[in-house]
Amino acid sequence: MSIGPVMVDVQGLELTAEERELLQHPAVGGVIMFSRNYDSPEQMRALTQAIHGLRQPPLLIAVDQEGGRVQRFRDGFFRLPPLGRLGELYRENPGMALQLAQEAGWLMASEVLSAGVDLSFAPVLDLDLGVSAVIGDRAFHRHPEAVTELALAYQRGMHEAGMASVGKHFPGHGGVAVDSHQTLPEDVRALVDLELKDLIPFERLIHNGLNGIMAAHVLYPQIDAQPAGFSARWLTGILRGRLGFQGMIFSDDLSMGGASWAGDHSERAYAALRAGCDMVLVCNQPEHAARVVESLVEYSDPAAHLRLARMHGKGFPSRSDLQASRRWRRATALLESCESERWLDMDLE
**Is residue 256 a part of any domain in this protein?**
yes
pTM of the predicted structure, to 2 decimals: 0.95
**Is residue 82 a part of any domain in this protein?**
no
41 and 114 Cβ atoms separated by less than 8 Å: yes
- Residue 30, helix vs strand vs coil: strand
**Is residue 131 a part of any domain in this protein?**
no
Read off the pLDDT band of 82 (50, 70, 90).
very high
Q: How many domains does the chain have?
A: 1
Q: Mean pLDDT in the chain? A: 95
Q: Which segment of 144-148, 179-183, 266-270 scores lowest on mean pLDDT?
A: 179-183
252 tagged catalytic: yes
Beta bridge partners, 170, equal 215
Q: pLDDT tens digits, residue range 33-42?
A: 999 999 999 9
Mean pLDDT of 217-233: 97
CB-facing half-sphere around the CA of 343: CA atoms within 13 A = 29
Among the listed residues 181, 193, 301, 305, the single catalytic one is: 181
Q: Write down the pLDDT at residue 347.
A: 43
Q: What is the DSSP letter of 82?
A: P
**Is residue 230 a part of any domain in this protein?**
yes
Q: pLDDT tens digits, residue range 330-343?
A: 999 999 987 765 54
Q: Which residue did the predictor score with more confidence, 345 or 148?
A: 148
**Is residue 185 a part of any domain in this protein?**
yes
Read off the pLDDT band of 315 (50, 70, 90).
confident
Distances from the Cα of 251 to the Cαs of 93, 118, 223, 228, in angstroms?
A: 36, 18, 19, 9
Q: Write down the pLDDT at residue 341.
A: 59
Read off the pLDDT band of 3 (50, 70, 90).
confident
Q: Range of 190's domain?
A: 167-277
Q: Which of 82, 96, 184, 189 is nearest to 128 (CA)?
A: 82
124 and 86 Cβ atoms separated by less than 8 Å: no
pLDDT exceeds 50 at position 345: no
Read off the pLDDT band of 2 (50, 70, 90).
confident
**Is residue 207 a part of any domain in this protein?**
yes
pLDDT exceeds 50 at position 346: no
Q: pLDDT tens digits, residue range 288-310?
A: 999 999 999 999 999 999 999 99
Rounded to the nearest 5°, which phi and psi values hold at 168?
-145, 155
Q: Write down the pLDDT at residue 175.
A: 95
Among the listed residues 118, 128, 252, 278, the single catalytic one is: 252
**Is residue 89 a part of any domain in this protein?**
no
Mean pLDDT of 11-22: 98
Cα–Cα distance, 117 to 100 (Å, whole number): 23
Cα–Cα distance, 287 to 100 (Å, whole number): 42
Q: Write down the pLDDT at residue 210.
A: 98
Distances from the Cα of 319 to the Cαs of 33, 126, 159, 331, in angstroms?
A: 19, 32, 18, 15
Q: Write down the pLDDT at residue 340.
A: 64
**Is residue 198 a part of any domain in this protein?**
yes
